[in-house]
Amino acid sequence: MHHGGVTPSTTKVTELAELVAGGRVAVLSGAGLSTESGIPDYRGPTGRARRAEPMTYQRFVGSAEARQRYWARSHVGWRQIGGARPNAGHRAVAELERRGLLAGIVTQNVDGLHQAAGARRVIELHGGLDRVVCLSCRERTPRAELERRLREANPGWEATSAQINPDGDAVLTDEQVAGFRVVDCTGCGGVLKPDVVFFGENVPKPRVDECFAVVGGARALLVLGSSLAIRSGLRFVTKAAALGLPIAIVNQGPTGGDADATLTLDAPLGRTLTDLADRLGAAC
């Protein structure tokens, strides 16, 4: 454990500052960047083993009962996700972008906190929980509108949960879920789904290509708060390594990309990134 106000390795933060100072840095961020905003991680220090399997696209589409369970849990979880605010790490990334040091931001997160902090060029690899899409007519509507309709459809329904997962999925009992009413698309009556990529669903190819283009046009790759445990994020590290780009990883705990990294920092993200932005600010 690292205590007090000293970052684990001043030398490493200096090296990181030198790397980022050159500009054209692609950022890849994961759930670990949002833990300081109160959104739990899957695998990091705040991660808890799920007591429930994540919803798959196949189950969601194939079963009204699965959709009822998903939306009941997500309706409760949204209070935490929707109420979350950007932390020092998100603000530092937005500041680096404002200074013209970034080639782009690819995030595995679905919480919208990069944008809320002021970042502009953000590609949401897995979509965003703040939008809902109709699976029939493909119309996208704001999540806030759906939440209002769900409250109206479920007067008196109250449920709280001790466990919220990073995708806004609250753990509820069967009894809590049983009385919940789901609403459909106001336009065509079709099934509504959050505009995020579920397990068993592919990220749209144009979006993946756009992410690869950001990495391909970068001078370096900076990974923030991702354990890189799944191919979805790891492929961009593999690409950067194949291109011979320097790769820096700031994460709490080991990652699947450490072998390819030029520099790794096992450190709290908010403090480390604030320190980084301050150093670069002084250098400007």
283 carries a ligand binding annotation: no
67 carries a ligand binding annotation: no
107 carries a ligand binding annotation: no
Q: Answer yes or no: 126 catalytic.
A: yes
37 carries a ligand binding annotation: yes
Q: 3-class secondary structure for the chain?
A: CCCCCCCCCHHHHHHHHHHHHCCCEEEEECHHHCHHHCCCCCCCCCCCCCCCCCCEHHHHHHCHHHHHHHHHHHHHHHHHHHHCCCCHHHHHHHHHHHCCCEEEEEECCCCCHHHHCCCCCEEECCEEEEEEEECCCCCEEEHHHHHHHHHHHCCCCCCCCCCECCCCCECCCHHHHHCCCCCCCCCCCCCEEEEECCECCCCCHHHHHHHHHHHHCCCEEEEECCCCCCHHHHHHHHHHHHCCCCEEEEECCCCCCHHHCCEEEECCHHHHHHHHHHHHHHHC
136 carries a ligand binding annotation: no
34 carries a ligand binding annotation: yes
284 carries a ligand binding annotation: no
137 carries a ligand binding annotation: yes
112 carries a ligand binding annotation: no
Please tell me which residue in 75, 90, 114, 126 is annotated as part of the active site: 126
109 carries a ligand binding annotation: yes
User: Which residues participate in the annotated binding site for NAD(+)?
Assistant: 30-50, 108-111, 225-227, 251-253, 269
Active site residues: 126
User: Which residues participate in the annotated binding site?
Assistant: 30-50, 108-111, 134, 137, 185, 188, 225-227, 251-253, 269
User: Which residues participate in the annotated binding site for Zn(2+)?
Assistant: 134, 137, 185, 188
